Structures are given as C-alpha cells and as structure tokens.
Amino acid sequence: MVLGATPKSANSGSPAAYHSAFHELRFDAGRPCLDLVATAHPVERIGDVRRLRAWLAGAGLVPQGTPLPGADVTWLAAFRELRGQIAQLVRAELAGRPADAALARVNALAAAAPPAPRAVRHPDGTLTRALHGTPGRTALLAAVARDAVELLTDPVARSLLRQCAGDNCAIVYLDTSRGRRRRWCSSEVCGNRERVARHRRRAALARA
C-alpha cells in the first residue's frame, strides 16, 4: 500500500512524477518496523512532523484522524533514531552478525507500554479500533520497537526476511508470497524498473 501515490493518469515519466514517487510513504514491507526502515530510502520520506503523522496513521499505529497534539520535531528525531537502530539490527540479522548496541537500544524503547487499544461500537453495530487516550511519543516508539523485537525473535517470521533485488535498493521486506519467490520490495516499483531495464536491453540487442 502506498500513501499519497501519484495517480495512474499522471505522466510517470515526468521529473515531477519521478520526484513524487521518491517521496511517497510506502507500506509494503510486511511489518511496521520494516516500513519505518523503508522511509529512509531512496531519500528521506518523513522529512517533517506532518509526514511523520501520516506515517503513523498509514502504518496502523494510530487510527486515522487520531489527534497527536504533542507531536513535534523531537518526535521526528526519535523515530529517525529508532529507524536507524532497527535498520542496523535487521541488516545484521541478514548478514549473520551481531549488532549489540542497536539491540540494547531497541530493547530499551520496547520496554515502555505501547498505546492501549479499545473497540468502539458505531450506531450501525460495527466495531472499530480506537485508543485509550492520546498516545505519546514513548508509547508509539514502544509499539514499533516491540514489533521489531517480535519479528527478530520469531524464527518463522525472521526466515522470511529478504533484501530487495532491485539495483541500489536497500529495502528489506517479509516474503510471504506463495513459494517464497518474491524478489522485490514492490512489483510496481523495483519490479517494474527491472522489467523496463530488461526490455531496453532486449531492444538494444535487437538493434545491434
């Protein structure tokens, strides 16, 4: 899922569309902690507090429309710092090496209580998720840190970690595809880029 994606009718080859695609918020890595890591590639995707608010809602950490009156630049710095620690942990796991300093920091952030959910019944009888009170920075950081802890301590989930095969793509995702044959972080992004590259190579060979 992509938040704020460029409409399909847009000229995807234009510089403006290309720049927009770089800054889209993506939620296709399979876990909130991995989606947070993806916000650093290929450019900074949570460049201000407004974008961080959008990411928190898009990742499902808060229901859409949840007020976050305390959100400020300190939140932005804290989530970027957690992002870096999780990235170190995940990539160390893929490489089979320890990252003890990052592990200690993630464990420390995971120790706090995450936001407490509650179910709210609407007049039509359906239940939707809400939160008990307005979540603070510490609680939301804990939710992401706990997700990372759960991912990396679950042997089944951990075995699904993959590095995108796209050129110069640093995104890590969970491969839950049938047959575990997913190669790219996104078929529409890196997958499409690879298909275009293959087509150009074939066309160049045909011309030669």
For the chain, the domains span 2-207
Percent helix, strand and coil across the chain, each to the nearest 5: 50, 10, 40
Report pLDDT digits (tens) over 70-81. Answer: 999 999 999 999
The domain made up of 2-207 has a fold known as Jann2411-like fold (1.10.3300)
Do 109 and 141 contact (CB within 8 A), yes or no?
yes
Before 42, cis peptide (omega within 30)? yes
pLDDT digits (tens, 9 = 90+) for 16-62: 543 456 678 999 999 999 999 999 988 999 999 999 999 999 999 99
2 has a pLDDT exceeding 60: no
Report the pLDDT value the prediction gives residue 78, as an integer from 0 to 100.
98
